[in-house]
Each structure stands twice: as C-alpha cells, then as structure tokens.
Amino acid sequence: MKYVELGRTGLQCAQVSFGGIPIQRSDAANALAVVDALEEHGINYMDSARGYTVSEGYLGAALKGRRDKFILATKSMVRDYEGMKRDVETSLKNFQTDYIDVYQFHNLPLTAFDQVFGPDGAYRALVEARQEGKIGHIGASFHGLDALKKAVEEYSDKIETVMFPFNIVEDQGLEVLKMAKDRGMGTIAMKPMAGGNLQDWALALKYIFASGVIDIAIPGMGSPEEVARNAAAAGAFGPLTPEELERCAAIRKELGTTFCRRCGYCAPCTVGIDIPSAFLFRNYYEHYEGLKDWAAQRYAAMAHKAGECVECGLCEGRCPYELPIREMLKGVKGAFGE
C-alpha cells in the first residue's frame, strides 16, 4: 500500500482508504471483521459520517485498543455553531475516542457558505474544537461543482481537505481538484465506483490515481473480502495503458446514455417514485453480491415502485443528461418484479 500526505495536513494516509457507508448496512461483528482486515492490509484512513446511522458507533467499538493505528475522519450536515459543537461531541462518544483527525462539513452546498462561515456558523465550532484538541483538521465534502469551486477559490485557508465524486464516468471536478491540490488542500475521491455503476474495481481505482489530482480514494467497503480486493488493486497503479484508456472510453460510452448521476433534478415524479434511488438499488442488486439482500430490502421499503410509472415523461424533460428514465424504470421493474 502506498501512503501519501493528505494535502498539507501532515497525515500519511493509505492511497486506497476506507469509506464507511456500507457499515451501516451490516452489524457490529462484521464491522469488527472489516476493521481487522483494514489493519491487516494497512488501510489506515477511515471515513464515516454522523448521517451514516450506526457507522460511527460500530467503527468506534471495533477500534477499541487500536485507535492509534487509524486516521479517523467523519462529517456532519449541521451548519450552525451550537449544532456542530454537539455533533463533534457525539462523534467523539460514538468513536470512543478523545480525538478525531479530520472533521468535515458534509455535502456543503453553495447556499450554505454564508451560514457555515458566519458568526454563528459551524466553522467557528470546528475551529474551537481544533483549538481544544478534539479534532485535528477541517474538511468538507461536496456534490456540486459550483460549491467545490467556491471552497477552493475562496476558502483554501480554512478548508484543509475537499471530498468530491471522481471516477471514470464523473470527472467533472478534474480542473477544480487540480487547483485544490495546487493550493495544498487534501483531495479525496468519493464514489470511486460511481455508486455501483462500475464493476472493474482495479481499473476504476487506477483511473483515479492516474489523473494526478487525487490524494486518496475512499471506496465503501462492507466486508473483509472487499477490503482485500481494494488492497490488491492498490498494488498496480501507474499511468493507464492504451488498452485501459480504451476500456475507460468504452465504459463511458456504455454508461453515457443510461447512467444516473443522482443529481435529483428529475424530481418530483408525478406518482412519487424516488427515481435516483430506484436506479441505485438496482445497481447494487445486480452488481454487488454482498449487498443484494440489502438492496432488495431497501427497494421493497420504497413508497412508490418503478412499476407505478405512468410514463408522463415529465422527469425526462428535467434530466440534464437526457436519460431515458421511463425505459430505465422498466429495467428496475424487471429486476425487482414491481
């Protein structure tokens, strides 16, 4: 495993590190097995979130007696001072520690900057927590390119790490992430497998690091086998060969017309279908053996199923990627039977 410094934080992190979303779909025993595997393979950076339900707590219990072997990162959706103070304490309690290495604003949108960095904003709470030695560094995750750009252009003195989707089919952040790296910010790739759309793990990870703009990637890992698979892929990074570039282009071509970016612009559906979730669950159901049952359960719990689509077409007019949503929903119905 190669270790790299995360921006200017001084933290030496495994290039392929751990995303904690899948932990919320498992149990404490599996979380322990996953953390054992992380330690065994030298994956030392662990990312979670207040919003990932039981993830912080399961990881905290699994870290007992070995906290010092890991770099801990988590994040909060809270935007105000008091709320962020509370969330830091909750995270510390969940992780059963007195120190979190990186605390991040979770999915910071353009509209939240004024509040977060204002006098009663969450940023002041994180600065105080850093002064008190409760956290080490302040970061942020983004889904919107405009928000990432603002953070890099105007807040690189305050935000030390940025996290953004980056993968074979989502490289819209390339230029801004390069700028972030040039300014000494740590760059973290989330959704390296494009939310379950990419099946070639090794190529997906290699592509990310061949870009030169990413310090670490944090694929979600829900089992010791997935940890081993990611760790194995980490040994083969380098420039992409002409054959690999061709495969990336073929993947882009294949997913180009049918790949949901989960931007949500298609909402509201006339009959209330949560369109991006329906696509996401189908991807997990068909491509991730370990998540098949989970995906089926989550789909079963959806209030409105793909089969309820009345084909009004309104969603397709709103989709910036011109996806054939009605046809794609038929595929979801085919997979789940409703």
- Cis check for the bond before 219: say yes or no (omega within 30 of 0): no
Instruction: Decide whether 99 or 265 has the Cβ nearer to ligand SF4.
Output: 265
Say which residue the tokens 């949108």 belong to. 109
Task: Kindly state the smallest distance separating residue 205's Cβ from ligand SF4, in Å.
Answer: 24
Q: CA 21: distance to chain centroid?
A: 8
Determine how β-strand 12-14 pairs with β-strand 3-5.
antiparallel
Burial of 82 (0-12, 13-18, 19+ CB in 10 A): exposed
Size of the site for ligand SF4 (CB under 6 A): 26
Rounded Cα distance, 67 and 48, in Å: 15
Instruction: Decide whether 181 or 191 has the Cβ nearer to ligand SF4.
Output: 191
Task: Kindly state the smallest distance separating residue 264's Cβ from ligand SF4, in Å.
Answer: 5
Instruction: Looking at 63-141, list the stretches that DSSP marks H as alpha helix, in order from N- to C-terminal side.
Output: 81-95, 113-116, 122-131
Instruction: Decide whether 6 or 329 has the Cβ nearer to ligand SF4.
Output: 329
Cβ-based neighbours of 227, under 8 Å, separated by 6 or more: 18, 34, 37, 38, 41, 43, 221
3-state percent breakdown (helix, strand, coil) of the chain, nearest 5:
50, 15, 35
Task: Kindly state the smallest distance separating residue 283's Cβ from ligand SF4, in Å.
Answer: 12
Reduced to 3 states (helix: H, G, I; strand: E, B; else coil), residue 284 is: helix
Instruction: Decide whether 109 or 264 has the Cβ nearer to ligand SF4.
Output: 264
Return the residues of window 294-333 that contact ligand SF4 according to CB under 6 A: 309-315, 319, 321, 323, 325-326, 329
Return the residues of window 95-114 that contact ligand SF4 according to CB under 6 A: none
Task: Kindly state the smallest distance separating residue 250's Cβ from ligand SF4, in Å.
Answer: 21
**C-beta of residue 157 within 8 angstroms of C-beta of residue 123:** no
Task: Kindly state the smallest distance separating residue 274's Cβ from ligand SF4, in Å.
Answer: 10
Instruction: Decide whether 270 or 297 has the Cβ nearer to ligand SF4.
Output: 270
Task: Kindly state the smallest distance separating residue 284's Cβ from ligand SF4, in Å.
Answer: 15
Task: Kindly state the smallest distance separating residue 252's Cβ from ligand SF4, in Å.
Answer: 15
Strand partners, 295: none
Residues 244-283: x where in contact with ligand SF4 by CB under 6 A, - otherwise, as a string = ----------------xxxxxxx--xxx-x-xx-------
Q: Which of 263, 242, 251, 258 is nearest to 198 (CA)?
A: 251
Instruction: Decide whether 246 or 254 has the Cβ nearer to ligand SF4.
Output: 254
217 binds ligand SF4 per the rule CB under 6 A: no
Chain residues in the site for ligand SF4 (CB under 6 A):
260-266, 269-271, 273, 275-276, 309-315, 319, 321, 323, 325-326, 329
